[in-house]
Amino acid sequence: MHPQLEEQIKKIQTQLEKADIEDARWEARYIIASLLQIELGELSSYTKDLTAQQEESLQKVVAKRCRHFPLDKIFGSRGFYKFDFVVSEDVLSPRPDTEILVEAALEEIQSRPCQKILDLGTGSGCIILSLLAECPHLRGVAIDASVSALEIAQKNASKLGLTQQVKFLHSSWFDEGCVNLWGKDFDIIVSNPPYIPSADILSLTEEVKAHDPHLALDGGKDGLKDYRQIALKAYEALQKGGKIFLEVGIGQAQEVVRIFEKQKFHLCEIRKDYGGIERCIILKK
C-alpha cells in the first residue's frame, strides 16, 4: 500500500481506538475509501498522495466519528438489502436484521399474485422500496408520522426510479384514513414500528440514542404500544388471505402474536434474525 495512505490509516485507527470505536482498523479504511470515492478493495492499489483538502475533510470526519456519530449518517448513505439508501438523522438507520423481513415479504409476493403493499412507518423507505424495486408490477403506499422522514423516503424513491410505484402519506398509522384513500385491498402490510421500551432508550449505544429519531425507536412503556394501534386497523386494510410482516424486538414475538391474534389474525411464521433472535412475525387475515 502507498506509504502515506498506510500511515493515515494507522493514525485514524489509533484515534478511533482511543474513542472506543470497535473495528477501528476497518472503519479507518472505510472512511478513507469513502472520501476518495473508491471501493475498500481499491485502497491497496491507490497510488496518489492525499491533497491538503482531502486530509482536512478526513480529519473532520474522524473527529465526528470519535464523537460516535454513526458512519452512515456522516456520509448520508447506507447499504441495505441490494441498494444504497439516503439516510439522515430524520430516519432510523436501516439494520441488516430488517433484511429478514424484506426477504420474507418478497417470497410471499413472488408466490401468489400480489398488487398492493402498505408500509407503516416507512422511515428511509428501505423496506417498501426494496420490495418495489424487485417487483415492478407492485404498487405501494408508504406512511410515516414524520414529514422529514417522508422527504428522505421520497428521495430514495426517486433515486431508485420508483416514484411511479409508490405514494407517500403523512399519517400516524391509520389516522389519516389511508384505508379510505387507498382501499381495503392491500395484499401485504409491512412494518418496522418503534419497539424499544421507553426506559431502555437511554441504555442504547450513543450512535442509536443520539442519532436515530426517538419517534422511530420509542414503543412506549412496554415497547408494544404501536403494535396495539396497528393491530386495531390492519385487519380491515388487508384483502382476505393478505399477510402482515412485522419486525419485533428481543423477547417480544409471543406477545405481539397474541396482540394480533386478538384482532382475528392467524400466525403463519416467526423468523429469526442473523443472531438467532425471533425478529419477524408473519400473520394472515
Which parts of 39-185 are beta strand (E)? Answer: 77-80, 83-86, 116-120, 139-144, 166-170
Nearer to ligand GLN, 93 or 165 (CB): 93
Between 100 and 138, whose beta carbon lies closer to ligand GLN?
100
Nearer to ligand GLN, 63 or 204 (CB): 204
Q: Are 202 and 233 in contact (CB under 8 A)?
A: no
Cell 469513502 -> residue: 34
The 10 Å Cβ neighbour count of residue 34 is 17
What span, in angstroms and rounded, lies between the C-alpha atoms of 194 and 32?
34
Q: Please report whether residue 217 would count as binding ligand GLN according to CB under 6 A.
A: yes
Query: Binder to ligand GLN among 169, 208, 267, 268 (CB under 6 A)?
Result: 208
Provide the minimum distance between the beta carbon of 269 and ligand GLN in the complex, in angstroms, as a whole number: 19
Q: Under rule CB under 6 A, which residues in 182-201 are in contact with ligand GLN? A: 192-196
Distance CA 249, CA 145 (A): 20
* 50 is a contact residue toward ligand GLN (CB under 6 A): no
Smallest separation (angstroms) from ligand GLN to the CB of 153: 15
Whichever of 217 and 257 has its CB closer to ligand GLN, that residue is: 217
By C-beta, is 58 or 152 nearer to ligand GLN?
152
Reading the block at residue 74, the C-alpha cell is: 456522516
Tell me the C-alpha to C-alpha distance, in Å, between residue 28 and each of 32, 58, 86, 130, 205.
Answer: 6, 10, 22, 29, 20
* Cβ at position 124, least distance to ligand GLN in Å: 12
Least distance from ligand GLN to the Cβ atom of residue 213, Å: 10
For residue 241, how many other CB atoms are within 10 A of its CB? 9
* Position 109, amino acid: I
- Helices 147-159 and 126-134: crossing angle, nearest 10°? 20
Smallest separation (angstroms) from ligand GLN to the CB of 130: 16
Residues 249-278 binding ligand GLN (CB under 6 A) are none
State which of positions 155-174 bind ligand GLN (CB under 6 A). none
Rounded to the nearest whole angstrom, what is the least distance from the CB of residue 113 to ligand GLN in the complex? 30
Q: If residue 190 lies in a helix (H) or strand (E), which one and from where to where?
A: strand 186-191
Q: Which residues contact 50 (CB under 8 A, 6 or more apart)?
A: 4, 5, 8, 58
Return the number of the residue (192 or 229) whose C-beta is nearest ligand GLN. Answer: 192
Question: Per the structure block, which three cell numbers stand in for 271?
Answer: 423468523
**246, three cell numbers:** 412485522
In angstroms, give the least distance from the CB of 226 to ligand GLN.
9
Query: How large is the greatest C-alpha to C-alpha distance in the chain, in angstroms?
Result: 65
Closer residue to ligand GLN in complex, CB, 121/140: 121
Q: How far is the CB of 239 from ligand GLN (least distance, A)?
A: 26
Question: Hey, which residues between 77 and 116 contact ligand GLN (CB under 6 A)?
Answer: 92, 95
Q: Which is nearer to ligand GLN, 5 or 189 (CB)?
A: 189
* Count of residues touching ligand GLN (by CB under 6 A): 10
Say how far apart CA 196 and CA 180 lie, in whole Å.
Answer: 30
Which residues lie near ligand GLN (CB under 6 A)?
A: 92, 95, 192-196, 204, 208, 217
